[in-house]
C-alpha cells in the first residue's frame, strides 16, 4: 500500500506517518469552547480531523481520537485579554456557566452526528482541573512567575519558543501591555486568580489562590492524560498555530524537561471564509449548521463542500457553492442507489489488498480509480482528487454490484458521506419556511416542460431556480426521474 504522508506544521513539510505505538494512531483535536453555538467554520475543523481519523483507520491503524470540550478558562481573546467566555455568556443569558456548557456541548455533539463525524472521546476541561494544578506546580519554579492576576509562563525559559508559529514576535507585540508586569509579550497565564472581592461561578482553590486555569494548559494536560506524551498527531484550526499551540508546546517542553513538543505531527486546517473574511461569532448573527438545514440543505452537503477543497486551502462559503456541493452529493447518491443499502462501517483492513474477499475487486475495472483514490488520500488527504476518483469508480460500467459495494464502502469510509445509507428521500429537506404545495410544483413543472419544448430556456431556468429556492429539485436527464415530493 502507498505510504501515508501528512503535512507537519512544525517543519512545514510532508512526512510519512510512522506511529509511535505499533499499529495505533493517537490524535488530539482542540475542541469547542461551549459558550455559544459552533459556526460552520468551526465545523470545518472537525470535519478535517474526522477525515484524518478515517484515513488512519482506512490505513489499518487502531484510532484513538480525543476532541476536548473547553468549558472553562477561554478568554474572549486567545491571549490573556478580555473576559472569560463562559462567565460572560452565563451573565448575558441569566443561566449558570455549567448550564451554558451543557447546553452548547449537546448542540455541538448533535452537529457532529449530523455531519457523520465519528464519535470521538469528549472529555471536559473542568474534569481535569486537579491535574492542571499539579502540572502548574511541576513547572512553577523553573518556568513561571506570579503576578497579582495569576501565575504566568515565561516563554524565554524554553528553547525556540514559537517555532511553530514562525512569526511570534510580531504577534506578541500587540499583547504586551494587556497584563501588567509580564516579562515577555508572549508570556501567558497558567492560572488566573479571581480578582479580590469577586466570585466566579467556576473557580477552584490552588497554590496561587482561588481562580481558574489558563486555557492553553488544558490541552497539554488532557492530551497527556488521555493519549500519553508524545502522541502522534495534534490538530486544530490554523489560528491555533500562532498562539495556542506554541503555548501548549512550551508547557509540554517545560513539564517533560525536554525539547519534545508533545505531539509528533501538528496539523492545521485553513479557514472557511465568507465574502466578508473569516467567520466570527462576535457579530451576533453567524452561520450555523441549523441555518443551512432551515434553508433546505442536507448537513452532508456541507461535508461535501469541505471535502471539495484541500484542508490546507482557504474555502469560501457561499450559498451557490453549497448548492453545487449538494447537487454533487445527490448525483453520487443516485449513482449508487441501485446497490444494496448498507449501514456497515468499513472495518479496519490493514492488508485488504491481500484479502481473499477483495481479490475480485482488485481484478475488476474499479481497481484503477480505487488506487487513485488511495494515492490521493494518502497524499496529505487530498479529498478533492479522491472525490473525482470515487465518481469515476461509480461511473465504471459492467462491475458486479457486490464489488461496487465493496469499493464504495471502502472509499466512503474515508469521505464519510454515508452514500450507502442515504436515500433520495433523506436528501429532500423541506426548507423551514417553504411555501409550496404539490399542485403548485406540478403546475410549475408542466410550465417548464412547455417552455423547454419551445426552446425558451430563460423561462425554464427561471422556473427551475424558483423551484430550487422552494426546496424542490429538478434533475434533468435523470432517467429514473428525481422524486421531488416534499415531506411535510
Contact footprint for ligand AMP (CB under 6 A): 30, 32-33, 41-42, 44-45, 236-237, 239-240, 269, 271-272, 278-279
β-sheet with 231-237: strand ranges across: 62-67, 24-29, 231-237, 263-269
* Minimal distance, residue 386 CB to ligand AMP, in Å: 20
Q: Which of 31/136 has CB closer to ligand AMP? A: 31
Q: Which of 59/240 has CB closer to ligand AMP? A: 240
* Minimal distance, residue 220 CB to ligand AMP, in Å: 16
Which of ligand AMP, Zn ion, none binds 32 (CB below 5-8 Å, type-dependent)?
ligand AMP
Which of ligand AMP, Zn ion, none binds 272 (CB below 5-8 Å, type-dependent)?
ligand AMP
Site map 17..36 versus Zn ion, x via CB under 5 A: -------------x------
Size of the site for Zn ion (CB under 5 A): 2
Q: Which segment (94-102, 217-225, 399-407, 433-441) binds Zn ion by CB under 5 A?
A: 217-225
Q: Which segment (172-180, 181-189, 212-220, 393-401) binds Zn ion by CB under 5 A?
A: 212-220
Which of ligand AMP, Zn ion, none binds 239 (CB below 5-8 Å, type-dependent)?
ligand AMP
**Residue of minimal Cβ distance to ligand AMP:** 237
HEC profile for the chain? CCCCEEEECCCCEEEECCCCCCCEEEEEECCCECCCCCCHHHHHHHHHHHHHHHHHHHCCCEEEEEECEECCCCECCCCCCCCEHHHHHHHHHCCCHHHHHHHHHHHHHHHHHHCCCCCCECCEHHHHHHHHHHHHHHHHHHHEEEECCEEEECHHHCCCCCCCCCCHHHHHHCCCCCCCCCCCCCCEEEEEECCCCCCCCCCECCCCCCEEECHHHHHHHHHHHHHCCCEEEEEEEHHHHCCHHHHHHHHHHHHHCCCCCCEEEEEEECCEEECCEECCCCCCCCCCHHHHHHCCCCHHHHHHHHHCCCCCCCEECCHHHHHHHHHHHHHHHHHCCCCCCCCCCCCCCCCHHHCHHHHHHHHCCCHHHHHHHHHHHHECCCHHHHHHHHHHHHHCCCCCHHHHHHHHHHHHHHHCCCCCCCCHHHHCCCCCCCCCCHHHHHHHHHHHHHHHHCCCHHHHHHHHHHHHHCCCCCCCCCCCCCCCCCCC
* Minimal distance, residue 154 CB to Zn ion, in Å: 21
Cβ atoms of 63 and 56 within 8 Å: the answer is yes
Q: Which of 57/220 has CB closer to Zn ion? A: 220
Q: Which of 45/472 has CB closer to ligand AMP? A: 45
Q: Which of 40/219 has CB closer to Zn ion? A: 219
Q: Which of 279/329 has CB closer to ligand AMP? A: 279
* Minimal distance, residue 269 CB to ligand AMP, in Å: 6
Q: Which of 78/412 has CB closer to Zn ion? A: 78
* Minimal distance, residue 262 CB to ligand AMP, in Å: 17
Q: Hey, CA dihedral for 299, 303, 306, 308, is it positive or negative?
A: negative
* Minimal distance, residue 49 CB to ligand AMP, in Å: 9
Which of ligand AMP, Zn ion, none binds 219 (CB below 5-8 Å, type-dependent)?
Zn ion
Q: Which of 222/399 has CB closer to ligand AMP? A: 222
Of the residues 56, 133, 139, 219, which one makes contact with Zn ion according to CB under 5 A: 219
Site map 399..418 versus Zn ion, x via CB under 5 A: --------------------
* Minimal distance, residue 241 CB to ligand AMP, in Å: 9
Q: Which of 168/219 has CB closer to Zn ion? A: 219
Binding site for Zn ion (CB under 5 A): 30, 219
Amino acid at each position: 500500500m502507498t505510504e501515508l504522508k501528512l503535512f507537519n506544521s512544525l517543519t512545514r513539510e510532508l512526512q510519512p506517518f510512522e506511529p509511535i505505538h505499533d499499529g495505533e494512531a493517537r490524535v488530539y483535536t482542540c475542541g469547542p469552547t461551549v459558550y455559544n453555538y459552533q459556526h460552520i467554520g468551526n465545523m470545518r475543523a472537525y470535519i478535517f480531523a474526522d477525515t484524518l481519523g478515517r484515513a488512519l483507520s482506512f490505513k489499518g491503524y487502531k484510532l484513538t481520537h480525543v476532541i476536548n470540550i473547553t468549558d472553562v478558562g477561554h478568554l474572549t481573546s486567545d491571549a490573556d485579554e478580555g473576559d472569560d467566555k463562559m462567565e460572560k455568556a452565563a451573565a448575558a443569558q441569566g443561566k449558570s456557566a455549567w448550564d451554558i456548557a451543557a447546553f452548547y456541548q449537546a448542540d455541538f455533539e448533535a452537529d457532529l452526528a449530523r455531519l457523520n463525524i465519528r464519535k470521538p472521546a469528549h472529555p471536559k476541561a473542568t474534569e481535569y482541573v486537579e491535574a492542571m494544578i499539579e502540572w502548574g506546580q511541576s513547572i512553577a519554579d523553573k518556568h513561571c512567575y506570579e503576578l497579582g492576576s495569576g501565575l504566568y509562563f515565561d516563554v524565554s525559559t524554553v528553547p525556540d519558543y514559537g517555532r511553530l508559529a514562525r512569526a511570534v514576535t510580531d504577534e506578541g507585540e500587540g499583547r504586551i501591555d494587556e497584563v501588567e508586569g509580564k516579562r515577555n509579550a508572549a508570556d501567558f497565564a497558567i492560572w488566573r486568580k479571581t480578582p479580590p472581592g469577586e466570585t466566579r461561578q467556576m473557580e477552584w482553590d490552588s497554590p496561587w489562590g482561588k481562580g481558574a486555569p489558563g486555557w492553553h494548559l488544558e490541552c497539554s494536560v488532557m492530551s497527556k492524560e488521555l493519549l500519553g506524551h508524545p502522541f502522534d498527531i495534534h490538530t486544530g484550526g490554523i489560528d491555533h498555530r500562532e498562539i495556542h499551540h506554541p503555548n501548549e508546546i512550551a508547557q509540554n517542553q517545560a513539564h517533560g524537561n525536554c525539547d519534545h513538543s508533545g505531539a509528533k505531527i501538528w496539523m492545521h486546517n485553513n479557514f472557511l471564509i465568507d465574502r466578508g473574511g473569516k467567520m466570527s461569532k462576535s457579530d451576533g448573527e453567524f452561520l450555523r449548521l441549523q441555518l443551512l438545514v432551515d434553508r433546505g440543505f442536507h448537513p452532508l452537503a456541507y461535508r461535501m463542500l469541505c471535502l471539495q477543497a484541500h484542508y490546507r486551502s482557504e474555502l469560501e462559503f457561499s450559498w451557490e457553492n453549497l448548492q453545487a456541493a449538494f447537487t454533487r452529493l445527490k448525483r453520487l447518491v443516485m449513482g449508487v442507489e441501485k446497490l444494496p443499502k448498507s449501514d456497515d462501517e468499513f472495518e479496519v483492513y490493514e492488508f485488504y489488498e491481500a484479502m481473499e474477499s477483495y481479490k475480485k475487486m482488485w481484478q475488476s475495472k474499479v481497481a484503477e480509480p480505487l488506487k487513485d483514490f488511495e494515492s490521493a488520500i494518502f497524499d496529505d488527504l487530498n479529498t478533492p482528487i479522491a472525490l473525482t476518483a470515487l465518481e469515476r469508480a461509480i461511473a465504471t460500467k459492467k462491475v458486479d454490484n457486490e464489488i461496487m459495494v465493496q469499493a464504495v464502502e471502502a472509499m466512503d469510509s474515508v469521505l464519510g458521506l454515508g452514500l450507502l445509507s442515504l436515500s433520495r428521500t433523506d436528501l429532500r429537506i423541506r426548507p423551514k419556511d417553504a411555501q409550496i404545495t404539490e399542485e403548485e410544483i406540478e403546475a410549475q413543472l408542466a410550465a417548464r416542460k412547455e417552455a423547454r419544448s419551445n426552446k425558451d430556456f430563460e423561462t425554464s431556468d427561471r422556473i427551475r431556480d424558483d423551484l430550487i429556492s422552494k426546496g424542490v429539485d429538478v434533475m434533468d436527464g435523470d432517467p429514473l426521474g428525481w422524486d421531488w415530493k416534499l415531506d411535510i
